[in-house]
Structure 1
């Protein structure tokens, strides 16, 4: 693969209770363990960052395949949900759900676009076979 862009970020502090920033300074955030995992909450966490990145990337892939199919995806949205929990082997795993709304596209065509976007999206390609990803097309 020819790399066209590389994002760089630095994590400091105490991991999930630390701080992250991109080398270009465009992203900077404190991190906190969510209350649901026994932490104080009050700041973002790796799962939120992953959910936001995956949702944005998938939405971009969806718009790309829609343009190729000449489909109207105006008003489309993607909600990313990333869950974390024990994996049964002493570690933790992730589960992802993407909820996709394509209000201007008929249901069958919408599902076809979503399935195609799942083949194109770099995040989908990266996690395939490693993380369960549930794709849900919703009516709006």
Structure 2
């Protein structure tokens, strides 16, 4: 089990545990206990907890400058926070909050709240490990 940079690993040999089924049951109990200890939600989904190129410090939320081309061919740029989440396995959703419209702090706060709501919807609780997911521009409410 790997979560938030911590790892809990154990091997369950069929011969040591009296057969394949018994070893499997022991392994499942170990996995469930390890996930609870690490704070990982019990799900068969992959949970992304850290990326190297994250600019906000919040998983599933990043700042970007979006380029759009109008019907007349004019190129426009707008600053946004983009929120991404996976409502179902193999399905990705995203929404955006305009920095130009709301300002840097308010846009970040709106995006942060949207991301937390989507985590609750998908995982049943918001994922906020103590050692990460903290926004870089000030502290935001839970």
Q: TM-score normalized by structure 1?
A: 0.28
Point out the structure with the larger helix share. Answer: 1
Q: TM-score normalized by structure 2?
A: 0.28
Answer with 1 or 2: which has the greater Rg.
Answer: 2
